[in-house]
A and B are shown apart, each in its own frame.
Chain A
Amino acid sequence: MPGASGSSTASSSSEPGAARPGIGLALALAIAALSITVILVLGDRVREGLAGLRAHHDDNTTWSMAQLSTDMLRLRIDARRAIDAGAADLDALRRRYDIFYSRVGILLEGNALDHVERAAERAAATELEAFRDALVPLMDGPDAALRAALPGIVERLDRLFVRARDLELAVLAAKAQASTEERESLISLLLWTGGAMLAVNAVLIATAGGIGFQSRRIARQSAELRQSAERMTASVASAIDAVLVADADGTIIEYNPAAERIFGFPRAEAIGQMIGELIIPPELRAAHRAGLARYLATGRSDLVGKGLHELSALNAAGERFPIELSIGRYSGERGPLFIAYIRDISERKRIEVERREAFERIASADRAKSDFLAVMSHEMRTPVAGVLTALDLVGREPLGPSGRANLERAKRSAEILLGHVSDVLDIAAIDSGKIQLSHRPFALGAMVAELADSLRGPAERRGNRLTVALDPSLPPWVASDERRIRQVLSNLIGNAIKFTTGGRIVVALDRIGEAEGRVRIGFSVTDTGIGIGKADLPKLFQDFVTLDAAYSREAGGTGLGLAVSRRIVRALGGEIGVESARGAGSRFWFRLALDPAEPAGNGEAVPPRQAHAGRRLLLVEDNEINRELAAQMLAEAGFAVALAEDGIIGLQKARQARFDLILMDVSMPRQDGIETTRLIRDPAQAAASRESPIIGITAHAQPEEIERFLAAGMDRCLLKPLRIPELLAAIEAVPDRPPGARRAEAGGADTGGADAREAIAGAPETAPSGTGAPDAGGADASAPDTAAPGSGVPDAGMPGTHLPEASAPVTGGSDNSEARAGPPVTGAAGTGTPKTGGADAGGAEAGAPDIAASGTGSSDNSEARAGPPGTGTASTGAPAPGGADASGAEAGAPDTAASGTGIPDTGRVESGAPDPGATRTGGPDNVGIETGTPDPGASGTCLPDASGVETGIPEVGATGTCAHDPGGAGAGTPDPDVSGTSPPDAGGVETGTPEAGASGAGIPDAGGAGAELAKAGATGTGGRVASVPGTGLPGAGATGSASSDAVGAGASLRAAGASRAGIPDAGGTGADLAKAGAIGTGGRDTRVPRTGFPGADATGTDSPEAGASGADLLEAGVTGTGGPDSGGGDIGAPEAGAKGTGVHEAGGAEPPAAAGEPSAAAARRSGEAAGDSMVGIDVPQALALLSGRSSGLVERVLAQFETEQDRRWQEIRQARARMDAPGVARAAHALCGTASAVGATGLAGLMGEVESAAKAGSLGACDRALAREAAARRVIAADLGHLRKALADIAGEP
């Protein structure tokens, strides 16, 4: 049985199907095995019992015992017979005795007595044995003795018989008892065995049942499996895609009917073939094998389980065709199987190819159309350009009335023609998705108003009244594509004018809602014209629609206007429509969602024409007529124009000289404009004009071409014909692409160039202003080229200082300005390290204001002065040996004074707290401390009036410093009350929070700056810096050299300054200068932004950022230069500085300057000339500060300034007389602040200088300043006159 059970276990484990019911089955088997073991044990015992039954260990005891009494009786019988018959029978008796003897032996020796235990029976047996044995002698003895004993033997036998009988019965009874016990034991055993058998049977039945259940389940599962397999087979067989199954070797083991259809091999042929050889093209077989091997080795595959793949396959005919393939993997009995679903995609591929080809054909046709349009535009635009330009020029000549009329007609026709070409191009551009929309802030209302103004003429000629109705809730500024919106509006208004006679045209803008931060604005143009019929309305916005052919011909129009408008509006994300009825007028409208925007840049628009006076422009144009016409136009606009006939010449010129602007024709022989631009921009060419803005001019209007131009380095691109307003607008827009960006890439070396441009821009302007030295003006006017270098002087200084290393090359430059650039550098080199050289120059100036004055203007002068600084140093007794140190010393010295000056003595006096004032005045740092100190007490004492306000603010300490300059700032304070109640010294007035002052006057940053500087320990200096950007410089410079923190302060100053329009930049400059440590230099000149440059340049040598700030400065310079007040050129104005420079240049150029050793006298003279003008008011800056204020306030401020000036000068003189340096510093500081408030940057600078010098204990500077008092007051008086007039003009008052 163990064998049987073992085999059944083995069979269960070898049967996969039995695995699931395994546990139950195993349990059943275990029970069965246990039961079987029990049965075997019991069975064995049963067998033993049965064997015992059969194999009697005892003889038939019953019989044997019965024989005992029988044998006794027969012995007695024989004994009786022997007694009776004589001796004859004794042998028989003896035999009988032997039998008896044997019987008793059997009884005794056998086991018959085993069951008998009682003593009585034992005794009986013993008695029998004794009897038997007692007879032995007799029986074996002679007959006689035996015979004689016989009666006794019989008698004993009789007696013993009873005992034997009892013994028999006892044995029988015991035997019966033993048998019964044995039977019962056997029965019990059998019952147990039967029970065990029953249990085994039960287990077996249960097992059988379980097996039956399992087998039913298995049968069910196998049926499901079979069905599933059938389904699978059916689906493979009926699949549309070919299905191939291959084993790991690549042998095909399944191949469905679709595969037969697709590949052409019959199934029977395909099965068993290698898939690689059957359907895989030869060139892919190696890859297939490698892929298969890799998959089998690593389990990685590019194909298996990776979705659809497009490959090619072979069919039975050996043809290759494209397939789409998906491979899956599953496990077979002998390793992995691969199932491939394959689709024949020949048809799809063919369609794709056809579609692509069709698309390419269409695209090519479309390209041809675009090309045609582009060519046409070029071919048409160029001649029209010529016509228009020529007509413009003719129009400037005297003409008769009819000539004039004809000319106008011709111009109008040409313009219409140009418009048509533009319309067509617009359509092409928009349709091809190439329209480029700008997103710049513009003043919406102003734009509309301006547009209406420009169209009012035409409208009125037709008897129409054109009005504009602007919703007051419109955002003043929005960001979008101004030109496109203008174009649409212009088109709609133009249409309205055309179709309306003697009626009204209303242009209305309404705010109609908001969405996602944008404002929805409805534009409408309503006329009272002829209207449009209902039937025509839908056609209106289609291409080439003109409703009234005859009329439109007269009115002009391709019919594209509305189509273009519709496209533009849609491109801008808006909608356009019309409401009209014949005879009832029309209302054209469009709606746009626009982003409200912050005003862009300086709100004050710079009148274009004057801004370009003297700017140097290179025109590269191959067409002679165009070239001449453009040159003439540009010259009239104020440009100094250089001409180049083609790209090569243009490049040459651009390489030699630095132009402010280059106009570049695109298509030219020999070398086109793109290549030329690229070369100019190429650093390898080292073109002087490498950074100059380049505006391309082209008749190629395709947007992608324009992109190409821009990529080559052009800043803008204009379409021919070149027209002045567009050009000017483009020039305005160029800075949108900040030069700094490119400069940053190019590194510090470029900075000089950029600065130079500014300098140039600024300088010439002085000439027109005429207030400056006549020579300078003369020079500029007469020979722009010459003048340019002359005016360029300042920048000349910059390049020099800027790039000390580059000094030699720069010096060698062909440009005069460059030539002059050399000296500073040389000078610097002479004094020591290039850096300090630059700084020294400034420092020298700082130290010696009068000399500085002369020197400030022009850089070379500064050079000349670079020598003197030594002297200056000596005189001031500054310990520092170098020129640079000298300046530092000087700058430092004034600081001391500044601390004195920093606190408005008046304030102190008034506050009646002399002690702190006195105390503080002493230390150079005092001002710093005071200013930096948040202690309101300090400020309070400083400015009694202001105390209230200032104290409130923690920065008040800083404020306090500013307080003085704010004195200036205070002038700007909008709050009339404050100013009204304030004491004469404006210092008190401005009181407001520095921020307030800042916002009001624009200088305020200065205040902030001051605070920063103060922090930096650049005591008081800040004050000056703040008040007058220029003035601050020395201090800042000092700071810069003193502590690095100052740099940080400077930086923030600059940042602050930069955010303001115009002047603040000067402040910025100051900051930069501070960084550069170009002390003082900037200081005095600074009020002329240009002056700042040297400092900035010095910075430049240190760090590229300085260059960047230079750039910023430049912009400031531009702004300043471009101030509306052309007369601003006079004293104090930045231009003045430039002018001064120019003057000096002129002077210096004549005799000794070339030698580099200007005579002191010459320097002084020119310096005074320049210096006097420089102490004046920077009128544009002042305008920026004051315009927009109420006239009463402005007048009060100016009056205060005059009073303050008188008073402070007097104080300075008195303090000087007492040798009271702190007193001088205090007074100078106060005046500095007041002066800066009204834009008297020159005076502020001068006072800053005095303050610095006084603080440093040097009264020399004070003397020099006092020496200029008269001139300064005169100039300022004149400037105030200018300023008042300018303010009045601005306010529109007569």
Chain B
Amino acid sequence: MTRAVSRLRRRVLICLAAIGAAAALPAALPAVLPGALPAAMAAEPLPSPAGPVLLTVTGAIAVQNAEGAARFDLAMLEALPQTRFRTSTIWTDGEVAFTGVALADLLARLGVGAGMLRAVAINDYKIDIPVSDAVEGGPMIAYRIDGETMSVRQKGPLWVVYPYDSKAEYRSEIIYARSIWQLDRIIVE
């Protein structure tokens, strides 16, 4: 009899715990930790840009094509592994298709494994993006939207976008702040 009671009691407690856990779940689910960065392509030398330079990366980078900097024109960026995803954004109407280079791929090309990226826009907007954000399925530096290149008037030519629809974490204020458009320079620190 007493055993039965204690069993019952235990079940009730488990029940309560489960209720608590369920209530706490949305807040308690932390971001899954990013994996290690690959640094394979870093060795290959970076060609020089032939067209207008769209992006200049400076700081702690492994490859350069200018004095202390890696400069990319559109062709160079397009030569890098291409990434595509469709997502809605708070700045556009409906879903749009972005094409670009994954931040992870770019950093891998530049041999950046860790640290913080200071991204600067043409309009002098600056924001820090941790390298840890550059994961597979993570943000990219988009150069086409719906297959078209982007002018400055259209937040181009480069726009850091996250796949906002893929997870809630990407729909936070911080991520929105990191979604820098009219990207011009990246300083790796």
Binding site for B on A (CB under 8 A): 1, 4-5, 7-8, 11-12, 15, 17-18, 36, 39-40, 43, 47, 50-51, 54-60, 67, 71, 95, 98-99, 101-103, 105-106, 109-111, 200, 204, 207-208, 211, 214-215, 218-219, 221-222
Contact = CB atoms under 8 A, between A and B. Distances in A.
A99 B152 contact: yes
A208 B16 CA distance: 12
A1 B19 contact: yes
Nearest to B153: A101
Contact of B93 (A5, A102, A109, A200): A109
Name the prevailing secondary structure of the A interface residues.
Answer: helix
B90 A8 contact: no
Contacts of B182: 99, 102
B41 interface: no
Contacts of A109: 91-93
B31 interface: no
Given A55-B172, A215-B5, A1 B92 contact: no
Nearest to A5: B15
Contacts of A221: 1
B32 interface: no
B171 interface: yes
Contacts, number: 113
Contacts of B181: 102
A111 B90 contact: yes
Nearest to B24: A43
A39 B152 contact: no
A56 B15 contact: no
A207 B13 CA distance: 12
Contacts of B18: 1, 4
B12 A71 contact: no
Interface string B148-175: 0001111100000000000010011100
28 contacts: A4-B14, A11-B4, A11-B7, A18-B4, A18-B8, A36-B19, A39-B23, A43-B23, A47-B26, A50-B27, A54-B168, A54-B171, A59-B176, A98-B122, A98-B153, A102-B123, A102-B152, A102-B153, A102-B154, A102-B181, A105-B154, A105-B155, A106-B91, A110-B91, A208-B9, A211-B5, A218-B5, A219-B2
B177 interface: yes
Given A43-B23, A106-B91, A99 B8 contact: no
A99 B123 contact: yes
B8 A8 contact: yes
Q: Give 8 nearest A-B pairs by CB, closest first.
A: A55-B171, A98-B152, A4-B15, A47-B26, A215-B5, A101-B153, A99-B123, A218-B1
B22 interface: yes
Contacts of A101: 152-153
Contacts of A11: 4, 7-8, 11
B122 A99 contact: yes
A12 B151 contact: no
Interface residues of B, number: 38
Given A59-B176, A99-B123, A15 B153 contact: no
Contacts of A8: 8, 11-12, 15
A204 B12 contact: yes
A215 B2 contact: yes
Nearest to A101: B153
Contacts of B9: 208, 211
Contacts of B4: 11, 15, 17-18
Nearest to A71: B123
B87 to A, nearest CB: 13
Contacts of B171: 54-57
A56 B176 contact: yes
A700 to B, nearest CB: 85
B28 to A, nearest CB: 11
B16 to A, nearest CB: 7
Contacts of B11: 4, 7-8, 11
A103 B8 CA distance: 64
A110 B173 contact: no
Given A47-B26, A51-B26, A55-B168, A102 B8 contact: no
A7 B182 CA distance: 58
Contacts of A98: 122, 151-153
A59 B91 contact: yes
A95 B168 contact: no
B152 A51 contact: no
Classify the interface of chain B: helix, strand, loop or mixed. helix
B55 to A, nearest CB: 16
Given A7-B11, A98-B153, 9 more contacts: A8-B11, A11-B8, A15-B8, A40-B22, A54-B168, A56-B176, A101-B152, A221-B1, A222-B2
Nearest to B181: A102
A319 to B, nearest CB: 47
A46 to B, nearest CB: 8
Interface string B118-147: 000011000000000000000000000000
A211 B6 CA distance: 10
Contacts of B152: 95, 98-99, 101-102
Given A51-B168, A102-B153, A58 B90 contact: yes
Nearest to A111: B90
A60 B22 contact: no
A55 B27 CA distance: 13
A47 B171 CA distance: 15
A102 B157 CA distance: 12
A219 B1 contact: yes
Interface-central residue, B12, B90, B171, by most chain A CB under 10 Å: B12
B90 A110 contact: yes
B31 to A, nearest CB: 12
A57 B15 CA distance: 36
A203 to B, nearest CB: 11
A11 B176 CA distance: 51
A11 B4 CA distance: 8
A105 B151 CA distance: 12
Contacts of B7: 11
Given A12-B8, A71-B123, A17 B1 contact: yes
A105 B165 CA distance: 23
A98 to B, nearest CB: 4
Contacts of B14: 4
Most buried by A among B7, B19, B25, B173: B19
Contacts of A1: 15, 18-19, 22
A7 B5 CA distance: 14
Contacts of B123: 67, 71, 99, 102-103
A1171 B120 CA distance: 181
A99 B15 CA distance: 57
B8 A211 contact: yes
A214 to B, nearest CB: 8
- Among A12, A39, A47, the one with the most B-chain Cβ atoms within 10 Å of its Cβ is A47
Contacts of A57: 90, 171
A8 B10 CA distance: 10
B154 A60 contact: no
A208 B12 CA distance: 9
A33 to B, nearest CB: 10
A1047 to B, nearest CB: 92
Contacts of A219: 1-2
Given A36-B19, A95-B152, A222 B1 contact: yes
Contacts of B15: 1, 4-5, 8
B153 A105 contact: yes
Residue with the highest number of chain A CB atoms closer than 10 Å, among B1, B15, B168: B1
A207 B26 CA distance: 29
Contacts of B122: 95, 98-99
A55 B169 CA distance: 8
Nearest to A7: B11
A56 B91 CA distance: 12
A208 B155 CA distance: 62
Interface in B54-86: none
B127 to A, nearest CB: 11
Of B27, B123, B154, most buried by chain A (CB within 10 Å of CB) is: B123
Contacts of A111: 90
